[in-house]
Structure 1
Amino acid sequence: MCGRNATAVYRFGRPGRVELTSAALTMAMRGFAGGGETQITAVNKDYRYTVFDRTSRTGFGEGGRHDTAMSSGLLIQRAGRTVAAKACSRDATVSAKAQAIIKPGPYVPH
């Protein structure tokens, strides 16, 4: 997922061998008790690629501290069925600037 000026693009593949490029992106945000999730989705024919960034509360610490967990990854669906779910090895965050350049779209449950 890359952004430049007022354009965002999803690319899949390896350097020098990009298999998919899509600028038809949508963004969804959903809040829930103790956190929330931001998603950016690209569609290519009957495939849907959803990059997500999630924060959730895992418990309460001493002195009212909230213990949180962060996760991010890629969900790949074909014709509405999940064919792959990949977790990021490091936390990846969706930039707040993305909201200004990507149109709203539906939340993808997973």
Structure 2
Amino acid sequence: MVSGTTSLDLWPLDQRPQKVVRVRNVDEWLEAVAAGRGVGLSAASTGLMYTHPQIVYRYLDDTPPVPITLVWRLGEENPLVSEFVATAKALQQAQRLDLPLAPDTSGSPALQPVES
């Protein structure tokens, strides 16, 4: 099935599906799957947000992570937004360095490496 950001360009030319079901949104995608018109892959969050009595979701091992983005309003002045963005950046840096993280119990939102 092809919908949203999924397109035939995701497949090499010689491995593209021969039959494509085009849908415009998640609801149409779910109905197409439920009707037996195809199967699909989606982020795990889809199964948490969208249920259907005729749909089964299963986690797949050894799949690449799904990239997500953090979005906020340009020029945002709310200190909670700034704090959240700073925390997200700290988490991203810690993951790049492969540091294990422990919750900060000091009241600060900063992420701290786990002491060995």
Q: TM-score of the superposition, structure 2-length normalised?
A: 0.25
Which structure carries more helix by proportion?
Answer: 2
For the pair shown, the structure with the greater C-alpha radius of gyration is 2
